[in-house]
Structure 1
Amino acid sequence: HNLYSLSGAPVRSGLQLSKHIDEALIHFGNEVEVSFGCHHWPTWGNAAIRDLFEKQRDVYRFIHDQTLRLANHGYTMNEIAEMLVLPRVLSHCFHNRGTFGSINQNVKAQYQLYFGTFDGNPSNLNTLPPREESIRYVEYMGGTETVLKRAFVSYEKGDFRWVATVLKHVIFADPSNRTARNLLARTYTQLGFQAESGVWRNFYLSGAQEILGGVRQTVIPQALNRDMIVSMSLSCFFDLFAVCVNGVKASGLPNSIFHVKLTDKMHGHVTLMLSNGVLIPRVNPHGPGLACSAIISAPRELFERIILRETTFQQAMQEGKASVEGDLNLWIKFLDSLEAFSFWFNLVEP
């Protein structure tokens, strides 16, 4: 079960998953003989599959309904995540164990789905940024040395969750403190050893690795790659284009309209409206054309390569692959507002 992907994705509805599984049981439950899906090996035999589906249906519904029940009693997201325990008949099924998603994170997913992450306590409404908050925490707790002495005691008692919380603040307040870094790495390692979820274990051990050796830029994966971009619809691609715009930088440019004529096999056209630092793409717009600052003629592939930092628009013009009618200077300034994203960044320190 996994309603909240810790690697980053919109949360899922346990209610909808439960209903879809039940619908599958209604339509195919009497005939199904083999079931296979991601994150699990195949299951054979009608009785075994029905048992699998029924308990999966029930575990998703239980997490969803009980989270909402407790929320309506006034409990917060983190409180419910600590309170909720599956009935023995569900928790003792191996396929319902938290080896991938956990009850804790799935409860938080259902709470977030309906209520967001704010718990209603105004002190959590506008908290300080992590580093500023941590500097003040450490100061209020008596300084780094006092915190470390108490953290070592708590570590020896096995209170690893609390040690991780306290030392997080020490590291953000003083990233150079080697004693704190070593103890936090040991703490994350212990939490990783104890985690039933492989995903939790990976986060804990990755955190320990970062604390001890920094972010290791080994093989650089292409999170944004040509295969993914080529498969995007025109609308989706230019939405991505808009995300790459540095809004603060682009807001210094005059509101403008650029009309893009795609010269490759797609033969589409896109109106790019730069409005108050925001890029509004209109793909194959209907109705009267808008007065524009420039008309750009180029293949879609060129815009893909620009996003991937494989070429520049100026280079394409020199090669005769693109042309501009109108304000070339403004168009180039707009393209200069596009940013590339780095895959590597810190997670457990500033």
Structure 2
Amino acid sequence: SLIHNVKAVYQRYLSWYDGNPCHLHPHPPVEAGQRYVDLAGGPDALLAKARAAFDAGDYRWVAELVNHLVFADPTNTAARALQADALEQLGYQSESSTFRNAYLYGAQELRHGGPPRHKAGNRGLVRALPIDQLLATVGMRLNSDAVGGADFTINLTFTDIEEDWLLGLSHRAIRYRKDRRDDAAAATVTSTREALSAVIAADVTLDDALAAGDLTIDGDAGALRLIIDNLDVFVGGFPIIEP
């Protein structure tokens, strides 16, 4: 639609910033929503204004106004119902099919809840990755705040593919190199690609892999454990119309 494409052209050439400094660093939606609700005189006062706007056919304003209350209090059923009604009307009026789908899906989520949350990603895919890509996922998933100032290296030996890798953690970041070893490494891990991939993918715990003999650690097991225990699990199925 024209509304959508004009914004895309603007963003392509001038970025997201529209030149208004008030838009440089606004409050996040939840905090802004709480302030707007307070400014309106509370949830009941805001809903009264929104219902009047709905009766007047100003559905865009209803959706924008009640969205603040939904973000401030997602459990407010009256707010969810009114915003769903407004989005439904906007969907019916939309010429663009993508806009219509977005409006109607938002209304559905407000009425029936969002999609079920689940762990994102394909574990089978993770276990099939080459070593460099596997270790790259470790770097992406590492919770850097949780590992603090840890600084060490780990020798990795993969017996099934006959490869040696050096895995390092410093400055809260992961680094890795093929065909490198460090005599001063905190630990040497001997494993198959499948076994270590299963641990990284959380299919198998590190303790279970050690107990089964699928993975051995010579040296400080706490070094590898620090990394494995602080890998974030990305979650899919997130809501789009509430925090």
Q: Which residue of 2 aligns with 1:35?
A: none
Distance 1:330 1:232, change over 3 A: closer
Q: CA deviation at 1:247?
A: 1.4
1:327 offset after TM fit, Å?
A: 0.8
Range with greater deviation from structure 2 (179-188 or 294-303): 294-303
> Secondary structure of the equivalent of 1:339?
coil
Query: Take 2:197 and 2:78, find their aligned partners in 1: how far apart are those partners?
Result: 47
* Equivalent pair of 1:307/1:340 in contact (CA under 8 Å): no
Aligned twin of 1:208: 107
Tell me the secondary structure at the aligned position of residue 38 of structure 2. Answer: helix
Please name the residue that 2:131 is paired with.
Answer: 234
Whether the 8 Å CA contact 1:263–1:299 is kept in 2: the answer is yes
Q: Tell me the amino acid that sits aligned with residue 101 of structure 2.
A: N
Instruction: Sort the Cα spacing of 1:300 and 1:176 in 2 relative to 1 into closer, same or farther, 3 A.
Output: same
CA shift for structure 1 position 223 = 3.8
Deviation of the 1:156 alpha carbon: 2.7
Matched, 1:309 2:205: no
Q: C-alpha separation between the residues in 1 aligned to 2:64 and 2:171?
A: 41
Considering Cα pairs closer than 8 Å and 6+ residues apart, tell me whether 1 or 2 has the greater RCO: 2
Kept after mapping to 1: 8 A contact 2:127/2:198 = no
Question: Which whole-Å CA distance do the structure 2 matches of 1:135 and 1:279 have between them?
Answer: 39
Aligned residue among 262, 266, 274 for 2:158:
262
After TM superposition, list the pairs within 5 Å mapping 1:77-96 onto structure 2: none
Equivalences for residues 78-157 of structure 1 within 5 A: 102-157=1-56
1:225 aligns with 2:118: no
Which residue type is aligned with residue 211 of structure 1?
A: L
Residue of structure 1 in register with 2:144 after alignment: 247
Q: 1:309 to 1:107 in 2, by over 3 A?
A: farther
> Structure 2: how far apart are the matches of 1:108 and 1:269?
50
Q: What secondary structure does 2:87 align onto? A: helix
How far the C-alpha of 1:270 sits from its partner, in A, is 2.9
Q: Contact 2:120–2:234 (CA<8 Å) still a contact in 1?
A: no
Contact kept in structure 1, 2:190 and 2:216, CA below 8 Å = yes
1:183-237 CA-to-partner distances (Å, cap 9, x unmatched) read: 10111222233334444333322322222222242xx777411443355443333
Corresponding residue SS for 1:238: helix
Among candidates 161, 180, 186, match of residue 60 of structure 2: 161
Unaligned runs of 5+ in 1: 1-101
What's the TM-score once normalised by structure 2's chain length? 0.85
How far does the alpha carbon of each residue in 1:132-183 deviate from its partner, in whole angstroms, 9 at most, with x for none? 1111112223332332222122223332222111111011223332221111
Q: For 2:202, what is the secondary structure of its paired residue? A: coil
Instruction: Find 2:184's aligned residue among 266, 291, 316.
Output: 291
Match of 1:343 in 2: 236
The farther-off stretch of 107-116 and 232-241 is: 107-116
- Shift of the 131–296 alpha-carbon distance from structure 1 to 2, 3 Å rule, reads same
RMSD (Å) for aligned C-alpha atoms? 2.6
For 1:232 and 1:327, how far apart are their aligned partners in 2?
A: 26
Q: Which residue of 2 aligns with 1:271?
A: 166
Structure 2: runs of 5+ lacking an equivalent: none
Corresponding residue of 2:69: 170
- Equivalenced residue count is 243
SS of alignment partner, residue 320 of structure 1 = coil
Matched residue, 2:221: 328
Amino acid at match of 2:16: T
Relative to structure 1, is the Cα distance of residues 256 and 289 closer, same or farther in structure 2, using a 3 angstrom cutoff? closer
TM-score normalized by structure 1? 0.62
